[in-house]
Structure 1
């Protein structure tokens, strides 16, 4: 008598690197009886049937193969049999027991479980559930007879092609069936069936197949051995199924991969690579239960993805969880942290993403390639940082220890972290540190109150330092970094120099402010010294913003806003002048001093002509002036009222007087706070209209009260509000002439030319509320001289007049908006900054409407727009006019 499992289980097959066919989960062999072996289990993922027990004796039934193989029949002494269980498309059927306990007939083998996708598909893209069927139980033998073998579990999925596959759901292989029991002195228990494989890749070409798993893949659990009345004649347990099997395979995992559970504990491999070129890439969220084995010994092990995770390095090695890998890489864009101890010989390449080594890996050499970052406080072997790679021990001022040599390649970066307390990252090298020409130090300084001269040791090499860094930069805006060397060390110094603030500037305005700070740096006292010390702690983003915040740039824009307000007033007066001769919204229905409704009468038409007129208009507007690389964009709005009265000396000549109030507010992009202006104007206006030709003119004076409110925010200091107030005197004048051409009845075109000018003189003033950052602002003068060429198109319909104005406007005066000022903390050190620069050329667009609403009373509305690239000025008028 003997017990025999004729074919090896999957575990044995998978450990044979030269296997000629895909791995398979096998049915358990039937239990033996006197003189006869049990029937062999069925093999192959296609579901081969189990062999029958020898018919002439009491041999146990063969187990069914995975894939739905039928269990073999149990043999009997008298030729009777116990039928095996049928294979299933899902679970296999159980083998039949002997008819009764006294029958000398072996148990039937259990049927094999079906595969989750039958005979296999070219690819798998599973988001649901794929399940292999469980193997059937082997039947129990009769007297002196063996038990049937358990059926093998079905595979979760079989992939036959080379295109990429994926799983975001669940793929579960079937469990092996239990072996049947043997009886009496000669009956052996049947063997348990093997668990199915989770996913089997049958690719036999050199093409590498990629499988991405974000779900769960599990091998089937092992079937238990059948018992026997004699303890030494128990069957053998089946083998648990492997999670994933294949060759020339890349497995990318952020889900769960598990081998099936063996009887008595432990699990099968999670992944077995059987040959070719294979890669395992772990990503954050990855859970692996069981070993991952590359039987070639040349597998590639990667840590990738875009999120952060960690790995204990003790899980890598010939006797560890991850076996048979010779190439180790960090890829992706995430951060992986290596912990624990593994001092065996390895080579890691940081190709991209961040690799943080906090454990001990003294036998591992590291290479950092372009796009990769190596950091940590651990101990590693010789390290080379190639062009585009970065080494940065950490952001908590730690030391990276290198046992061996360190090479900082050309084009690579060392990025030590430092703080104001004098702490820094460091690299300690037991061998030689070689720094190649073209390498850079990029200092990552934390916020804090820095001294004006701090030195740090950032690299120490017992074997000496060879070469120097070609460049050093810092994220601090105003402390200049420099490097120095001795035989074994590299030192970093952050120093306040004579050009520190200018060096941190990014625009001309910032440079002008920085120059003052540099000049005053050595002699600064009191609050101004406090401000300078706070500025030293700012990085390259905060620093330039702080220079802008203290510059007073918004004040430089008062001239532009005042000019826009006067332009709105002149447009309102222009509307009144146009009513005298039918230009832009003038029409002909209620012409001044005319007795007829159609405006065609002379004074002789009416014994008492209407020589007097009065009007009132609401004035509003908004606009913006596009900034540039030096100054930020200005935005403003305004609103007010204008009134006037006029007298017609004749049908051709009219003269009037008026006044206005306009209030405006301005904002500058990127600056906190705003500025306001209140302007009161008085003016004279006149029109000469001898026929189709007209000449209009006006002149006026404006008194403006300009107020600024600047919020100054510097990290590390309490916010400050700088408040300033001053007055401006403005003179404005406008002259326009045109000639009316009738096109068709009720439609006319009037080509025109206009000259419009203003000069605004703003008094100097001194701010309050911001201590040493208050500005003493010098007086400034803003001039504008604009010429406009265009045409009005007017039409009269019933009692309504409509006008459209189109033209081109050119600014002839200087468009610069300079402001000269000095800080209260640095008196006498003046600087000049510039506000947004108006465009010289603009398209002029206007629309006007007027209608009679009562006897000798008209309602009018008007829009005047000046539109240029990125900038615009929009004025609105709504008013009433009466004549008598």
Structure 2
């Protein structure tokens, strides 16, 4: 029980005075205090003649305070001394001592928040701390009874307990340093807190109730016992050798660290909790007497370590919860089991004898010998790993169970091949880590996934890998079949698979996986199940590959093993996924999907059949010496290459109809008597038809086959392309041309050719020719003879197309049999050249005679007429010059070819050049279309177009001068400012003229640079013109007169321009470079403005023309003076407002363009160009506007107007051939009579004397679009 403190209504303080007289040292005597009376508050002590004090009364007060400089006091309590305030406060440097000597009599008590301060207390009676009282930093020796009650604390005291010390309720030992040689008990929920406790001698330290060792540091030299529900908390406990620490009842070691050098016992329902247990050599930690907190034989410890002994009894001990990595080198014994949890590693190195087995549920258990796992029992992996170190332990014969969380083996040493001989069972996954090798030899039936994260997982027997397991092999790791056949659920990862001579079957779980590693060995691979197995590594295994189910897909080029024979079962798929692959061979009845990839098969030289379908846009290549037979309905559209051996058809239509086939030298394409269709055929190998027919050409490409086609079957040419046969073929079936061109430059002498909708050509030999309506025979390759070992027949609507030249050479058909002509037309394609007035050509000979006639003959020549003569054994063509003229020269009804004005003039001149002139000879052998195109090129039209270029240049120069004269419409510093005026309209008075300030200077230097691009459309006679002009004009002017209202300015300017122009349709281009000199003047009166000038431009036009007609070609060049004289004037009237002005204006410009003569150099088509003058003019009506933008000296200006042209608006030139005498006039497209002109610009008045500006201008007419950019600078002074 506790005693309530005795207090008065008002606490009284007093100071000790005492005396050496009898009774002068008694604390309970009031006269020994000043003021008189025993204090109820604080008793103060200073210096006194009485320092040995006693207390015989029942004294209750707040506390004793020893002042600074106080004497050394010794206070002996012979009754009751109770502190309820601050307790003992020692402000002196002296040691103040208290004795509580007599058991049953002396009671010294600290209540409420009182402290023992730093007093030295010797207790032989009762020493109590209550409430929140503290022992402070006192030094206490207890030889009787000491109690800490309520929430009191031992503070930082030094306590030597020799008899009985108790902590009740929520009291704690604080940070005290306690030596216990008696009995010390922590009751209720009390705690050892952060104290340091040492049990010595016969000392007994107990924790009862729900007390805790807290964070204390405890050294046990005798007995330490935890009872009831107490806990070791987070204490650090050291149990000395030969001593005992016991956990009884339901107590727990909590999170303590217990270093056991003696005996550590867990009894009844006690457990190690999450404590760190270190049992050193000679120490024993015994769990055998506890049945665990749930009475089920399951105990725990955060971790175990050390060289001492652990006794499990029949219990299951779970360790590792604190995630520490520890080493147990001692012996773990008992019939119980060990469970490892947490993330740390438990290393077992002792010869353990526990027999209940080991479960690794977290982290790792590391061993180097089998005995480390105890005398027997299974190994269960349920979230943890068994680590094997060193190379001594090479085999594990225990049963291994993989729990739902799975587990693994970490074979740390690269030199260790560690074998698990018993089956692995359970639902969990298996992982393999470490640099060493894990060998599985049992018939493993676990169903979880398998991960090879490092080192090697090796099979020790057939079927050692679980057939239900999904296997992942990480990069750098290896799965080794060691030559044993294995089945797994699936395969993924990027490591290595070594088959040896074994076969790996994967995919039975139906999942889709990707393996990016390499599979090597002489063994094979089987893909089973419904999923997709993707190979993306570089695989080099040489055994067979069987796709028994689902899809085997390539994930990279070359991922499929080039040394493997592939079999794709019915319903299964081999998918190249668009990636090129090579395999040893292909067989089966499944599907092959190429995507855009190429499959190369046959390199192993074996003969196989594939009856499945190959599809995709990719290609197929047959390599090697064997025969590859296709029996399915293949639809792939990429190329087929027979590079070696034989590609054979096993059914009608087995060859992909959309594939272009190439048969290499020495290779064979074998139809085996089945009709086949291919997109095209090329190469130099052999085609064996058997009795089948090969159709080729459907893709419209042009190919050549120089090999041999043999058999009794036939050949059909389809499509729009050209198929050339240059080899000697012996097939005897029919040849049919259903489209495109068949060129026979070799021999198909045993096959008659039927020409339906296509063309037969070439210089080889055919077995016969039948040309149906719509068919064409065109012998030769250019000019040549087609030989026929048989008969020739032309049906109505057929065509015999032949080429001839001026030398008398022409195409011919030379037949050994009969030529039957039932109609048809002969089409003559004549080459360019100088043809005689009449030239004859033998176009057909038939040793068996000629029967019938061709129905007609036509020619591509406009000026030569063909005729046919049918003889007994031949047909002869004669070409005779007709009366069709080049142009309209001579009048009358004679037909002519030229259709435009320019064509007509030059055609007349060309025809008069006569036979022997290259231009004439070329034109006379041309078609009408070729002749007209030739007339356009010969005309020299670009000479006329040069006039339009000069006119365009003159506009830019003229606008530069007028722009300078015009100046600004608004009155600003340095500008041309007209006078202002005001009008009194109501009184009808005239305007009052007010001269503006004189803001500009007398002299001005200015310059304008410009660039322009113009396009003029053709007019049906002349072609389009494109012009690009660049240049600059600079000038200087001065004011001759300025009255304020009127002024006069004169100036001079000069410039340079260069224009590059093209007449693309006439293969002509030119350059005009000109210099310009101008004088100008401008007058102002009020708002009226009149500006004008005269300019002269002197330039040279360099022209290059190309003439290309059939085989004729000239490049012609000329130089020609081009001068322009122009005069211009502009009148305007300005309306000015505060920051805005408008000006209507009228402008006129008169031009005379003088073009000098020129003689072209460069060939027979060269022209002579006469000099001439052309006069024209332009008027423009328009409106200008100008506005100042805000307060800045920045001005926007614009113009819009209508320009009208008059005079010689159609540029022309008078030409004639240098080699002839007939003149020819040529015209360019007319310069627009009406055009919209517009301009927009900005001027910035940099200073009073300087203005810079930029502007865009355009002239848009019916044919011409002329755009220009201009930059201007004016400097006044």
Fold conserved between structures, TM > 0.5: yes
Bigger strand share: 2
The change in CA–CA distance for 1:676 and 1:87 in structure 2 (over 3 A counts) is closer
In the TM superposition, what whole-angstrom CA distance separates every residue of 1:545-600 from its partner, at most 9, and x where no partner exists?
66455433222123212222221122112222331533xxxx6231237899xxxx
- Superposed displacement of residue 491, structure 1: 1.0
The change in CA–CA distance for 1:709 and 1:173 in structure 2 (over 3 A counts) is closer
Match of 1:822 in 2: 1216
Name which of 1140, 1151, 1161 aligns with 1:759.
1151
The change in CA–CA distance for 1:450 and 1:793 in structure 2 (over 3 A counts) is farther
Q: Say which SS state the counterpart of residue 630 (structure 2) adopts.
A: strand
In the TM superposition, what whole-angstrom CA distance separates every residue of 1:244-302 from its partner, at most 9, and x where no partner exists?
3325556878444489xxxxxxx7x6323335787778846334446331357874413
The change in CA–CA distance for 1:118 and 1:708 in structure 2 (over 3 A counts) is same
The change in CA–CA distance for 1:568 and 1:536 in structure 2 (over 3 A counts) is same
Using CA pairs below 8 Å that are at least 6 residues apart, which structure has the higher relative contact order?
A: 1
Match of 2:662 in 1: 285
Match of 1:328 in 2: 716
The change in CA–CA distance for 1:374 and 1:122 in structure 2 (over 3 A counts) is farther
* Larger Cα-atom Rg: 2
1:301-450 equivalences in 2 (<5 Å):
301-304=694-697, 306-313=701-708, 315-318=709-712, 325-326=713-714, 328-331=716-719, 333-342=721-730, 344-370=732-758, 372=759, 374-384=761-771, 386-387=773-774, 391-401=778-788, 403-407=790-794, 410=797, 414-429=800-815, 430-434=817-821, 436=823, 439=825, 441-443=827-829, 445=831
- Superposed displacement of residue 499, structure 1: 2.0
Mapped pair 1:625 → 2:1015: yes
Contact kept? 1:361, 1:379, Cα under 8 Å? yes
- Superposed displacement of residue 122, structure 1: 12
1:31-180 equivalences in 2 (<5 Å):
116-118=546-548, 128=558, 129=560, 156-160=586-590, 168-172=598-602
Q: Say which SS state the counterpart of residue 662 (structure 2) adopts.
A: coil
Q: Say which SS state the counterpart of residue 611 (structure 2) adopts.
A: strand
C-alpha distance in 2 between matches for 1:853 and 1:86: 91
The change in CA–CA distance for 1:354 and 1:690 in structure 2 (over 3 A counts) is farther
Name which of 1125, 1145, 1165 aligns with 1:730.
1125
C-alpha distance in 1 between matches for 2:994 and 2:999: 6
Name which of 1022, 1029, 1050 aligns with 1:637.
1029
The change in CA–CA distance for 1:473 and 1:274 in structure 2 (over 3 A counts) is same
Name which of 951, 960, 977 aligns with 1:563.
951
Match of 2:1098 in 1: 704
Contact kept? 2:640, 2:659, Cα under 8 Å? no
The change in CA–CA distance for 1:435 and 1:460 in structure 2 (over 3 A counts) is farther
- Superposed displacement of residue 359, structure 1: 0.9
TM-score (norm 1): 0.65
Q: Say which SS state the counterpart of residue 381 (structure 1) adopts.
A: strand
Match of 2:649 in 1: 272
In the TM superposition, what whole-angstrom CA distance separates every residue of 1:685-739 from its partner, at most 9, and x where no partner exists?
4344534xx4444242425344444456668889665534345452332435355
Q: Say which SS state the counterpart of residue 514 (structure 1) adopts.
A: helix
The change in CA–CA distance for 1:842 and 1:341 in structure 2 (over 3 A counts) is same
C-alpha distance in 2 between matches for 1:492 and 1:344: 37
Contact kept? 1:631, 1:836, Cα under 8 Å? yes
In the TM superposition, what whole-angstrom CA distance separates every residue of 1:758-807 from its partner, at most 9, and x where no partner exists?
33242563426568734142524142425354553432455633324253
Mapped pair 1:200 → 2:585: no
Contact kept? 2:1000, 2:1276, Cα under 8 Å? no
- Superposed displacement of residue 533, structure 1: 4.0
C-alpha distance in 2 between matches for 1:603 and 1:134: 109
Q: Say which SS state the counterpart of residue 856 (structure 2) adopts.
A: coil
Q: Say which SS state the counterpart of residue 956 (structure 2) adopts.
A: helix
The change in CA–CA distance for 1:427 and 1:506 in structure 2 (over 3 A counts) is farther
Match of 1:576 in 2: 964
C-alpha distance in 2 between matches for 1:759 and 1:366: 72
C-alpha distance in 2 between matches for 1:135 and 1:852: 85
C-alpha distance in 2 between matches for 1:134 and 1:728: 85
Match of 2:1078 in 1: 682
Q: Say which SS state the counterpart of residue 559 (structure 1) adopts.
A: helix
C-alpha distance in 1 between matches for 2:1195 and 2:635: 75
Match of 2:1170 in 1: 777
Q: Say which SS state the counterpart of residue 576 (structure 1) adopts.
A: helix
Q: Say which SS state the counterpart of residue 810 (structure 2) adopts.
A: coil
The change in CA–CA distance for 1:568 and 1:652 in structure 2 (over 3 A counts) is farther
In the TM superposition, what whole-angstrom CA distance separates every residue of 1:585-634 from its partner, at most 9, and x where no partner exists?
xx6231237899xxxx988676x886734333244333333342532423
Contact kept? 2:751, 2:766, Cα under 8 Å? no
Extract unaligned runs of 5+ from structure 2: 1-484, 486-500, 507-520, 525-541, 568-582, 676-689, 889-895, 981-991
Match of 1:590 in 2: 974
Match of 2:1180 in 1: 787
C-alpha distance in 2 between matches for 1:135 and 1:637: 71
Q: Say which SS state the counterpart of residue 668 (structure 1) adopts.
A: strand
C-alpha distance in 1 between matches for 2:1193 and 2:1257: 19
Match of 2:621 in 1: 216
Q: Say which SS state the counterpart of residue 382 (structure 1) adopts.
A: strand
